[in-house]
Amino acid sequence: MMDSLVSVSPIAEQILLDDGSPFPLVITPKSGCVVNLFEAVTFIEDHCEELLSRLILSGAILFRDFPICDALAFDTFARAFKWVPLPYIGGAAPRRQVTDIVFTSNESPPSEPIPFHHEMAQVPKFPKHLMFFCEIPSKSGGETPIAYSPMVYNRISQALPSFVQQLEAKQVRYARILPNGDDPQSPIGRGWQSTYQTQDPFHAEQVCREQGTDCEWLDDGCLKTVTKILPAIRLDERTGKKSWFNSIVAAYTGWCDKRNDGKRAVTFADGTLMNKDDIDQCSNILDDCSVSFRWQKGDVLLVDNRQVLHARKSFEPPRRILAALFE
């Protein structure tokens, strides 16, 4: 049992889910235990099954005070779960690769908060698990709020039953104009070259086709994309719970720059625009359901992407949060 090596350590920001599970679960090493990276990796390998059982109950696990000091240590720690890394293909966020599986979290301007979303919910192949690592915490702001998606779905269903019925019946599409080259001033400034990891327009078109995404080249070299029809609500067969599995609020309120209009970035699949009041109410419910803790250097947050949404608060630089995605 892993309880001989680590403690479950409550933090003030935690909430309890309906079944009494803490959200997030916070684990810290006991005194004299898990004192170096080798022992941290061994702990994950020896207790992986128990950790994943607890992850399904809690949705997210915060590893605090583990001996993870930099990007290479985070890479090694993340690989201990033996998951297959997922390349960041099709995502909108500007990022930089740090190791083979580790990259920076969204590098959009620090003054711009990033709304709640499930990672890569706007593409057919999304990660099942995410890991975040705090290398440099911000002096002010910069939290990564998380929200338990089944709770969000239940509350939005109660508040906006007609809207949710439409989402389940019609489903959604996401539209975006990708710049010709990265635009670091935009929260969705990842260029088509970075998005599809190619300099070849024909290869970018091929990846779009494989994802079921319609694409159109514009005169300025930008690429307009419209996704296949995607669900906004998903049933998690592991838990039997429905989740608010989408990027509706993020797209509507955050996919805005000189190329894109958030109001048209996500629509019902039949092309009908969504009502701003509904989106605003969804955003408020997400905030009400969320947990936001202060990052500490060395923190690793493991997120079950099928159960948990995340966001980012604005911050005062410097701040360096790294991420890894897994199939």
| Model pLDDT for residues 119-146, shown as the tens digit of each residue | 999 988 899 999 999 999 999 999 999 9
Residue 220 shares a structural domain with residue 316: no
Cβ burial of 10 (10 Å; 0-12, 13-18, 19+) is: exposed
Residue 157 shares a structural domain with residue 204: yes
Strands 60-63 and 25-29: parallel
Examine residue 59 and state whether it is found in any structural domain, yes or no.
yes
Q: Alpha helices of 22-172 — where are they, by DSSP H?
A: 37-58, 71-79, 149-159, 161-170
> What would the pLDDT profile of 242-276 be if each residue is shown by its tens digit?
999 999 999 999 999 999 999 999 999 999 999 99
Residue 137 shares a structural domain with residue 243: no
* Residues facing 323 on adjacent strands: 103, 132
Name the amino acid, one letter, at 44: I
Q: In the predicted model, what is the mean pLDDT of residues 92-117?
A: 86
Whether the predicted pLDDT of 233 surpasses 90: yes
The two three-digit tokens of residue 280, written as one number: 């605003």
Examine residue 43 and state whether it is found in any structural domain, yes or no.
yes
pLDDT of residue 93: 67
- To the nearest whole number, what is the mean pLDDT of the chain? 95
pTM of the predicted model, to two decimals? 0.94
Counted domains in the chain? 2
Determine the 3-state secondary structure of 192 from DSSP. helix
* Residues facing 291 on adjacent strands: 146
> What would the pLDDT profile of 49-100 be if each residue is shown by its tens digit?
999 999 999 999 999 999 999 999 999 999 999 999 998 777 766 778 899 9
The share of the chain scoring above pLDDT 90, in percent, equals 90
Cβ distance 124 to 327 under 8 Å?
no
CATH of the domain at 45: 3.60.130.10
Helix, strand, coil shares, percent, the chain, to 5 = 30, 25, 45
Residue 135 shares a structural domain with residue 116: yes
The two three-digit tokens of residue 148, written as one number: 């338990």
pLDDT of residue 140: 96
Q: In the predicted model, what is the mean pLDDT of residues 205-214?
A: 94
Whole domain around residue 168: which residue ranges?
Answer: 149-287
Whether the predicted pLDDT of 107 surpasses 80: no
Say how far apart CA 88 and CA 15 lie, in whole Å.
31
Residue 81 shares a structural domain with residue 159: no
Examine residue 1 and state whether it is found in any structural domain, yes or no.
no
pLDDT of residue 16: 96
Name the amino acid, one letter, at 2: M
